[in-house]
Structure 1
Amino acid sequence: MTTSDRERQFAQLVQRVKACNLCPRMANSARVLGAGSGSLAAKVMFIGEAPGRLGADASELPFHGDKSGHNFESLLEQVGLSRYDAFVTNAVLCNPKDAAGNNATPSPAEVSNCSAFLKEQLELVDAPVVVTLGAVSLRATSLISPHNFSLKECVRSARPWAGRQLIPAYHPGQRAMVHRSFANQLSDYQFIAETVRRIGAPSRRRPTPKPGRSSAKVGAAAGLLLEESGELSYFALHKLLFLAEVRHLEATSERLTEGYFVRQKDGPYCVELHANRLPALVDGCRTRVVGNQLMVSLGQQELLANGRAQVLSQSAERTVREIARKYARLTASKLKTATYLTAPMRALLRKEKSLRTNLFNSAVLPPP
């Protein structure tokens, strides 16, 4: 199919979508399909659930304008992908609202009503990689070509489906973050980006550094903080590592590690330093729960020192030790304040103020 043929057929599809009135409760909702959906030559298609009331229903751009859209765009940006090189759509192309006017989950009938439109989009774009965002969109694909994939079992994996690779992922909305954290979703998107790049999809920047090297530096720095400070809360470990990153960057114009630091409700967190990864990242690491806090400490310090020498420079070690001595004994409140007074966090807070929204899960310090 030529480019002009594809564009003509897509324009006709958009007009049919705009004229659709199969779903009564969506009669007054925007039909979110058009030029803003992305490239018709995309190598990857993202399929969400339905346009959000405060997002795509208002902006008429899929995954744009609300918190889900912000998270989605942030995840793409942090793995070097651009939504403009992708095609972004939804299983249901209009916003379903409940009786109170709030977002509602599309009914099976509504998903079925839109299934023919989704099938046409898949055929027109013909992306070799299809990513479903949430259980609703995963089920919607089974109406087009049957499969028995489940989100829980198939997340972060590529499954052959309808002549393509289907990657089930969680929805980027805040409620889904309860079931799969932003850190885990970021790993999912790294897998998506790697899959897309293998088939030659464009990206906005070079691929991010290999996780092995980044994780080794993060683990070495975290271990040194624990060696210098003794037992730390998981909260404090992240804050101290962030302060060390900022101090080293300001002093040398180089990153101490290559880790992702994202904005969470209680300050910056390092994505690589996930609680489940601590034993593998930090030699001799031990954890225990005290009250409602996860506490982290060291056991075999000799092993840690040997591993550290291979990945951290002397100046990096000095910086980490200085940060530990200066900040490790602060209260959680004062430690959080110290991170908020750094230049990267101040810049993000100013942006939040100008946008009048919380930019939770945004990158504070992306990889170099």
Structure 2
Amino acid sequence: MANKEEKFVELVHRVKACKRCPRMTDSARVLGAGCGSLDAKVMFIGEAPGRLGADASELPFHGDKSGHNFESLLEQVGLSRYDAFVTNAVLCNPKDENGNNATPSSTEIANCAQFLKEQLELVDAPVVVTLGAVALRATALVTAHALTLKESVRKAHPWAGRQLIPAYHPGQRAMVHRSFANQLADYQFVAEAVRRGVGPGRRKLSAKQSRASQTVGAAARVLLEESGELSYFALHKLLFMAEVRHLEATSQRLTEGYFVRQKDGPYCVELHASRLAALIPGCFTRTVGRHLLVSLGQEDLLAKASLVGTLSEVGRRTLSEVAAKYGPLPAGKLKTAIYLTTPMRELLRKEKVLRMNLFNSAVLPAP
């Protein structure tokens, strides 16, 4: 694994230094720890980082509408980012003359083909899913095939010693040609293909709604009930601290959320600002200066009742203790406390050994 990580770090450095495509000079090179596990059982390949999503966050398929759709599809078939490696055929955002997202040219796709080939070889996932026609064409540059999106969607095709499953892009434009319901069926097919390849040591994937958002929402609600109004920053940090405390006490995760390392500390992917109202029924947000504040409004008994049983008694007690101890801390001291936890110290040590920041890498083990 160490050798694989070293090879990946070297690949990332080469991608960061690449200047083959003139119009992408100012775009982020979206390849790094945030793509997922190098031992993933499924690799998703999109078209290119979105201007409002990965080009800003460097976390593939997160932060924009395509990312929300992608994460929702994963959740509803029992997959998560812990199970996957997520990348793009083109690793930088191609913009048109107005600065909007544009389709990568054939030359730009070809320029990135070697990088895609190296990712496929390093991760060596038994299932590869292309999201859209551009990604499908890009895989043909790595190992030739004659597949088309329209004729090959939701089918597993033997390819380069793997299963290649073409699917539509989760963006809104693609939904016109293939509805969310049809795409959900595509992802159920993918989950079943991954499940068939899961060995006895890995958790079984479920075709039912993932509990990730439900458990994260329930835990966040408890923190707000205990603390009152919290900054968006503090909500993420308190939830992470509760995860760490619960893991230390029980050897089990508190929620099924996906936590990644960002510059200001751990961030829970499910708790994206645009999804708070859906995750935490009855919550309200307001902006004061540059800070987003989150609180609960009038008591929503039905919403609260729906959370009964989602968290264990031990879990609720951990959340209450964390809210009482760390909730009143100013942002600076809260951040210091977070960086002193074992998972963050281990990640910082790993960054030092690899000589590379691991922004957007998973901080906690899979639930």
Under a length normalisation based on structure 2, what TM-score does the superposition of the two structures give?
A: 0.57
* Structure 2 gap segments, 5+ residues each: 210-276, 288-302, 311-367
Q: 1:354 to 1:105 in 2, by over 3 A?
A: farther
SS at match of 2:74: helix
Deviations 1:248-284 (A, max 9, x none): xxxxxxxxxxxxxxxxxxxxxxxxxxxxxxxxxxxxx
Equivalent in 161, 186, 189 of residue 188 of structure 1: 186
Q: 1:169 to 1:208 in 2, by over 3 A?
A: same
2:91 matched residue in structure 1:
93
Instruction: Tell me if structure 1 keeps the 8 A contact 2:132–2:168.
Output: yes
SS at match of 1:130: strand
Q: CA deviation at 1:128?
A: 0.6
* Structure 1 gap segments, 5+ residues each: 210-345, 357-363
Q: CA deviation at 1:85?
A: 1.8
Deviations 1:319-367 (A, max 9, x none): xxxxxxxxxxxxxxxxxxxxxxxxxxx85695897499xxxxxxx99xx
Structure 2 counterparts to residues 287-302 of structure 1, below 5 A: none
Q: CA deviation at 1:208?
A: 2.7
Q: Output the CA distance in 2 between the equivalents of 1:36 and 1:188.
A: 24
Equivalent in 110, 122, 141 of residue 139 of structure 2: 141
What is the one-letter code of the residue matched to 2:115? F
SS at match of 2:130: strand
The answer to whether 1:107 aligns with 2:109 is: no
Deviations 1:268-319 (A, max 9, x none): xxxxxxxxxxxxxxxxxxxxxxxxxxxxxxxxxxxxxxxxxxxxxxxxxxxx
Q: Output the CA distance in 1 between the equivalents of 2:285 and 2:79.
A: 26
Q: Output the CA distance in 1 between the equivalents of 2:10 and 2:286.
A: 36
1:45 matched residue in structure 2:
43
Q: CA deviation at 1:182?
A: 0.2
**Structure ranking higher on relative contact order (CA contacts 8 Å, 6+ apart):** 2
1:84 matched residue in structure 2:
82
Q: Output the CA distance in 2 between the equivalents of 1:352 and 1:4.
A: 44
Q: Output the CA distance in 2 between the equivalents of 1:203 and 1:193.
A: 13
Instruction: Tell me if structure 2 keeps the 8 A contact 1:82–1:203.
Output: no
SS at match of 2:43: strand
Q: Output the CA distance in 2 between the equivalents of 1:355 and 1:46.
A: 35
1:10 matched residue in structure 2:
8
Equivalent in 144, 150, 155 of residue 157 of structure 1: 155
Q: Output the CA distance in 1 between the equivalents of 2:193 and 2:99.
A: 39
SS at match of 2:86: strand
SS at match of 2:94: coil
What is the one-letter code of the residue matched to 1:60? E
Q: 1:58 to 1:203 in 2, by over 3 A?
A: farther
Instruction: Tell me if structure 2 keeps the 8 A contact 1:85–1:203.
Output: no
SS at match of 1:88: strand
Q: Kindly, what percent of the aligned residue pairs are identical?
A: 73
Q: CA deviation at 1:84?
A: 2.1
SS at match of 1:98: coil
Under a length normalisation based on structure 1, what TM-score does the superposition of the two structures give?
A: 0.57
1:208 matched residue in structure 2:
208
Deviations 1:87-144 (A, max 9, x none): 0000000000000000000000000000000000000000010000000000000001
Q: Output the CA distance in 1 between the equivalents of 2:72 and 2:26.
A: 30
Instruction: Tell me if structure 1 keeps the 8 A contact 2:40–2:125.
Output: yes
What is the one-letter code of the residue matched to 2:5? E
Instruction: Tell me if structure 2 keeps the 8 A contact 1:29–1:95.
Output: yes
Instruction: Tell me if structure 2 keeps the 8 A contact 1:91–1:137.
Output: yes
Coordinate RMSD, CA, aligned: 2.6
Instruction: Tell me if structure 1 keeps the 8 A contact 2:168–2:178.
Output: yes
2:17 matched residue in structure 1:
19
Bigger radius of gyration, 1 or 2?
A: 1
SS at match of 2:165: strand
What is the one-letter code of the residue matched to 2:165? I
Structure 2 counterparts to residues 238-277 of structure 1, below 5 A: none
Q: Output the CA distance in 1 between the equivalents of 2:121 and 2:278.
A: 43
Q: 1:108 to 1:353 in 2, by over 3 A?
A: farther
Instruction: Tell me if structure 2 keeps the 8 A contact 1:80–1:203.
Output: no
SS at match of 2:158: strand
How many residues are treated as equivalent by the alignment?
222
Q: 1:355 to 1:46 in 2, by over 3 A?
A: farther
1:169 matched residue in structure 2:
167
Q: Output the CA distance in 2 between the equivalents of 1:41 and 1:155.
A: 25
Q: 1:144 to 1:205 in 2, by over 3 A?
A: closer
